[in-house]
Amino acid sequence: MDTLLLLPPSERVPEDLPPADAGPMLIARCRSFAPGHRIPAHRHARGQFLYSVAGTMGVRTPGQVWLVPPSRALWLPAGTEHVVHAHGDVHMRTLYLDATSAARLPARCAALDVTPLLRELIVRLTTPVDPAETEDTRDLAARLAVAEIGQLPACALALPLPQSADLAAWCEGWLREIGGVPGDALSAAPTSMSPRTLYRRFQQETGISFVRWRQQACLLEAVRRLAAGVAVTRVALDLGYDSPSAFTAMFRRALGASPRAFFARGANGSTAGDFA
């Protein structure tokens, strides 16, 4: 059985992938999208390792919002419905794993840190075959990529969404307006909901407090803006922080690195000195 199948670039969503228990170990694909491009809701018969060598992707799965900047990836188990949005020019590199390889990864969706080694392997596996390259070399690269994927650490780039229609709609509106300083977010809550009810329902429906949810929403928006090249000072002030240092301290607590270190890894494929 072949280890790797490379699909040609195409706008079409590959719905006819070989099943996870048959066909090659890895199916690879390289695609590029312009800013604002949207891939509508779909799912795959195989688990999908979604990665971008350049550009940031926003991904929606049932009950979750994900942000996937360069040097991070999103693992989508087989059958997971998802929508993909391109924030800026996106150069997507995707690996579809067979059942044996997927068993090494989480049973649920997860944002994962991508090592410099894995980045180079993904680029190689999603690039048309060099005539001088042997089949054994490609086989080894594919197997090494699967082994590397299976030990990646998770990264906190997810935002849970409430299940109820009224609270979910309010959250969607708040996320659309996050470009300005949020101000007193409680005043924008559904008029029939008291602050106590809002806090209680957030905890019940998302698993985190309202305050924590709002902080996480700001973090994802900050990552999106920073990935687009907006200055740290501008992002910090736009999101309501008193100073860039306060924003940087929050960013480091959440993601284990300063904004500069976090994105330096994605820019040059190497781990910056203060990346945790």
Average pLDDT of the chain to the nearest whole number: 85
Cα dihedral 138, 109, 114, 258 in deg (nearest 10): 170
Q: How many other C-beta atoms can be found within 10 angstroms of the C-beta atom of residue 80? A: 19
User: Which residue's entry shows tokens 């997507």?
Assistant: 92
CB 141 within 8 A of CB 125: yes
| CA atoms of 89 and 53, how far apart (whole Å) | 10
Q: Could you tell me the domains of the chain?
A: 4-149 (2.60.120.280), 160-268 (1.10.10.60)
Q: 126 in the Ramachandran plot: left (φ > 0), alpha (ψ -120 to 50) or beta?
A: alpha
| CA atoms of 149 and 113, how far apart (whole Å) | 9
Q: Distances from the Cα of 132 to the Cαs of 1, 124, 145, in angstroms?
A: 22, 13, 21
Structure tokens at 56: 């940031």
pLDDT of residue 179: 53
Q: What is the pTM of this model?
A: 0.84
* Position 73 pLDDT exceeds 80: yes
Pairing relationship of beta strands 26-33 and 4-7 according to DSSP bridges: parallel
Structure confidence by residue, pLDDT tens digits, 148-199: 999 999 999 999 999 888 888 888 888 888 754 444 444 455 656 788 888 8
| Residue in 76, 42, 35, 39 with CA at minimum distance from that of residue 56 | 35
- When computed from its CA atoms, the radius of gyration of the chain, rounded to whole angstroms, is 20
| CA atoms of 79 and 101, how far apart (whole Å) | 16
Structure tokens at 3: 């280890």
CB 47 within 8 A of CB 110: no
Structure confidence by residue, pLDDT tens digits, 108-142: 999 999 999 999 999 999 988 777 777 788 889 99
Q: What is the mean pLDDT of residues 3-23?
A: 73
Structure tokens at 194: 């008291």
Q: Distances from the Cα of 235 to the Cαs of 79, 112, 169, in angstroms?
A: 36, 24, 25
Query: What percentage of the chain carries pLDDT values higher than 90?
Result: 58
CB 100 within 8 A of CB 59: no
| CA atoms of 70 and 68, how far apart (whole Å) | 7
Size of the chain, expressed as the number of residues it contains: 276
Q: 28 in the Ramachandran plot: left (φ > 0), alpha (ψ -120 to 50) or beta?
A: beta
| CA atoms of 21 and 254, how far apart (whole Å) | 37
Q: What is the mean pLDDT of residues 210-221?
A: 91
pLDDT of residue 210: 87
* Position 106 pLDDT exceeds 60: yes
Of residues 15 and 247, more confidence is placed in 247
Q: Encode burial over 109-125: b for 16+ CB neighbours within 10 A, e otherwise.
A: bbbbbbbeebbebbebb
